[in-house]
Amino acid sequence: MDAPRVVLITAPDAATAERLARTLVEQQLAACVNWVNGVSSVYRWQGRIEHSSEVLLIAKTCASRLAELQSWLERSHPYEVPECIALAPAEISPRYLEWLQLETLRGAGA
């Protein structure tokens, strides 16, 4: 059994978020991607404090797909340094985990 992961990704706008989410699911790098509009971010970039409106993507995948997901994101994301933070859920329902693994591992040739 492959461990589930929740991946946080930010995008500059809704159109980019939808494109990223759709492609992640189409390529089975994620079983599901939610996005949350209206996220405000404050961060340091190139020595300056920046403030941006962003869209937060929440992708559900398996640990074995993370390297491929991150590699794809590095090539496809408009940001020079895209956010890609993977979290391990403390709990997940067995039926959801089964579905998650089926939808992502099938894309890995499993």
Q: What is the pLDDT of residues 62-102, one digit of tens each?
A: 999 999 999 999 999 999 999 999 999 999 999 999 999 99
Q: What one-character-per-residue DSSP string does 49-94 give?
A: EEEEEEEEEEEEEEGGGHHHHHHHHHHH-SSSS---EEE--S---H
- Domains annotated on the chain, with CATH: 4-108 (3.30.70.120)
Partners of 42 in the beta sheet?
Answer: 51
pLDDT over 60 (residue 52): yes
Note whether 62 and 3 are within 8 A (CB): yes
| pTM confidence score | 0.92
